[in-house]
């Protein structure tokens, strides 16, 4: 009897998974039908990104953040990619580095940005842990952001580092999550633009990064909110 009950549960689970898969396929098909009727196939040419010029402008202008002052801003090349590099401060004792890599074209995908940054600074890294926070746009739309938080250091300085890909609907440090979100959007004739964000907060040599977690997440909220209110504003 136990064997039969277990087999029934297994069969029901498989049936539920099949039904869910079919349901997702139907949703994707419904989203793609308008493109087919117009003679456009999603994989032939990805839809354009309406805000691409505004996103690319970030490289030259950086980001204006409420409560933070920009000390300097320039374009720095990291492994062939041009980043906006900003020195910012909230007060004399609270400073940070904000690096932004805007999406450069409709076919460009996030790939090895975090490896590039690590190599640029010649960091050794450890103490990796997740960080989550909520950001709010100008129209009071709240989104969740997942980021990676860790310690990076070289012979000159130790930093608490916060990294993620900022998207119109939130953020993730995982390029794979962006890829699947963008694929789903393309079936409906849309795109998911992105901006890579790297925040560095100086700390004492090999110090406790948890001491600056509230500051890092607060700054992360400001960055995500500013991006959603500007170049990543959802249309």
> Each residue's pLDDT tens digit in the chain (235 positions)?
544 444 444 455 556 566 656 655 554 555 544 544 444 444 457 788 889 999 999 999 999 999 999 999 999 999 999 999 999 999 989 999 999 999 999 889 998 899 999 999 999 999 999 999 999 877 778 899 999 999 999 999 999 999 999 999 999 999 999 999 999 999 888 999 999 999 999 999 988 999 999 999 999 999 999 999 999 987 6
Sign of the dihedral defined by the CA atoms of residues 66, 70, 75, 79, in that order = negative
Contact 147, 132 (CB under 8 A): yes
Look at residue 23 and tell me if it is in a domain. yes
> 62 and 29, same structural domain?
no
Q: Give CA–CA dist 45/28, Å, rounded.
A: 18
> 158 and 73, same structural domain?
yes
H or E element that contains 61: helix 52-61
Q: What is the pTM of this model?
A: 0.81
Q: Give CA–CA dist 184/166, Å, rounded.
A: 17
Q: Give CA–CA dist 190/182, Å, rounded.
A: 8
The pLDDT of residue 12 is 52
> 99 and 11, same structural domain?
no
Structurally, the chain folds into a number of domains equal to 2
Look at residue 235 and tell me if it is in a domain. no
Look at residue 47 and tell me if it is in a domain. no
Look at residue 171 and tell me if it is in a domain. yes
Contact 228, 185 (CB under 8 A): no
DSSP annotation of 35 reads: H
The pLDDT of residue 161 is 98
Contact 46, 106 (CB under 8 A): yes
Angle at which helix 175-187 crosses helix 2-37, to 10 degrees, equals 60
Structural domain boundaries, residue 36: 1-41
The pLDDT of residue 234 is 76
Look at residue 185 and tell me if it is in a domain. yes
Report the phi/psi class of residue 122: left, alpha or beta, with left for phi > 0 and alpha for psi in -120 to 50: left
The pLDDT of residue 4 is 44
The pLDDT of residue 7 is 45
SS3 190: coil
The pLDDT of residue 233 is 84
The pLDDT of residue 22 is 65
């Amino acid at each position: 009897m136990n064997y039969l009950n277990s087999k029934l549960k297994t069969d029901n689970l498989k049936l539920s998974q099949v039904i869910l898969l079919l349901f997702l396929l139907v949703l994707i098909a419904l989203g793609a039908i308008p493109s087919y009727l117009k003679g456009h196939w999603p994989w032939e040419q990805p839809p354009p990104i309406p805000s691409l010029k505004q996103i690319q402008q970030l490289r030259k202008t950086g980001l204006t953040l409420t409560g933070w002052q920009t000390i300097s801003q320039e374009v720095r090349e990291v492994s062939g990619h041009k980043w906006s590099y900003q020195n910012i401060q909230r007060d004399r004792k609270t400073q940070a580095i904000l690096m932004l890599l805007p999406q450069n074209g409709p076919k460009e995908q996030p790939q090895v940005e975090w490896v590039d940054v690590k190599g640029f600074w010649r960091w050794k890294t450890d103490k990796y842990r997740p960080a989550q926070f909520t950001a709010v746009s100008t129209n009071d739309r709240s989104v969740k952001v997942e980021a990676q938080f860790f310690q990076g250091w070289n012979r000159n300085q130790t930093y608490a580092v916060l990294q993620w890909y900022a998207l119109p609907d939130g953020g993730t440090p995982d390029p794979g999550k962006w890829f699947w979100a963008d694929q789903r959007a393309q079936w409906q004739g849309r795109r998911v633009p992105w901006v890579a964000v790297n925040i560095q907060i100086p700390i004492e040599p090999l110090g406790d990064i948890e001491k600056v977690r509230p500051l890092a997440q607060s700054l992360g909220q400001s960055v995500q909110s500013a991006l959603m209110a500007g170049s990543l504003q959802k249309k």
